[in-house]
Chains A and B, each alone.
Chain A
Amino acid sequence: MWSIAVTVTLGIVFGIYIKWTDSLKKINSKFQVLGLTVLLFFMGVSIGSNPEIISNLSLIGLKAITFSLLTVIFSVLTIFTVTHMLRRNLS
């Protein structure tokens, strides 16, 4: 977990001292999409290579999906409602 905080902090520190051009920013943004694609592939591999998860997927998948959908929906709605009410203070 700490390696995460360290890498982001390192990036921020480098980012402050680098002389940024528009093309450099574009390259960095493209790089993020590439890294994300690879990471998602690995996530898929971790699901696919675990037969227990694949079989559980059909047994308890419905409960799991409902949990994820409702937690996401209510998280978004709560933030949206609160930020909407406080939008003058936030801006």
Chain B
Amino acid sequence: MTIIVLVSVSLGILFGMFFSGSYIVHNLDFLSQVTLAILLLSVGLDIGSNKSTLSNIKDKIYSILIVTLSVVFGSLFGGVTTALIFNMQLNEGLAISAGFGWYSLSGVILTNIGNAELGSIAFLSNIFRELITFLIVPLVAIKLNYLSAIGPAGATAMDTTLPVISNNTDSNTTIVAFVSGVLLTALVPILVPLLYTII
């Protein structure tokens, strides 16, 4: 799986660099949205195939809250630590880490209310977060536990990285991941500007 991830992304980067005028590049948003939709239909089928999982979603509320709050706390703590390492303002570090992997939105928000460099760091760090997620979810699922494997994903647990979580854990964990991803996604547009301006 790790090899597939690295090869696909590398080929994609090379393709994007050398064929920037191609059909794929011009229609990239559309193409990835369609692929994502098909992929998520397949993930939904996976969840639905296990009826017993759906019946006890109430028992999962604690897991969902624990995962969501832990990701918020862990990400912001990581953001503050990075800001201290690079001698950046604390509000910048907090705002970048509150992207929770949703690079397009956090990048755009911080470019607008902050500056271009801040926006770029937010964009890149959240892209990297998504890439790292693809690579380490299988490892965390085996070495620690299934719920911990949701941690890297953050907001992306509801879409792009949900397949890798569902492939490496069980359907219980997949549902917790999806709901926590929805909650974290909803928090991004609130927390990023809030942390940047208030603190």
Residues of B within 8 A of A54 (CB): 17
* Interface bracket on A: 35 or more
A57 to chain B, nearest CB (A): 7
CB distance from A85 to the nearest CB of B (A): 10
Q: How large is the interface on B (under 10, 10 to 19, 20 to 34, 35 or more residues)?
A: 35 or more
Q: Is the interface of B mostly helix, strand, loop or mixed?
A: helix
Which of A42, A53, A60, A90 lies in contact with B117, CB distance below 8 A? A60
Check if B49 sits within 8 Å of A32, measured CB to CB: no
Give bound CA distance, A8 to B43, whole Å: 7
Residues of A within 8 A of B178 (CB): 8
- A71 near B78 with CB under 8 A, answer yes
Bound: A41/B35 CA distance, A? 11
Task: List B residues at the A interface (Cβ < 8 Å).
Answer: 1, 4-5, 8-18, 20, 24-25, 28, 31-33, 35-49, 51, 54, 62-63, 66-67, 70-71, 73-75, 77-79, 81-82, 85-86, 88, 93, 96-97, 100, 117, 120-121, 123-134, 136, 140, 144-145, 147-152, 154, 158-160, 162-164, 166-167, 178, 182, 185
Residues of A whose CB lies within 8 Å of any CB of B are 1, 3-5, 7-18, 20, 25, 28-29, 31-33, 35-50, 52-54, 56-57, 60-61, 63-80, 82-84, 86, 89-90
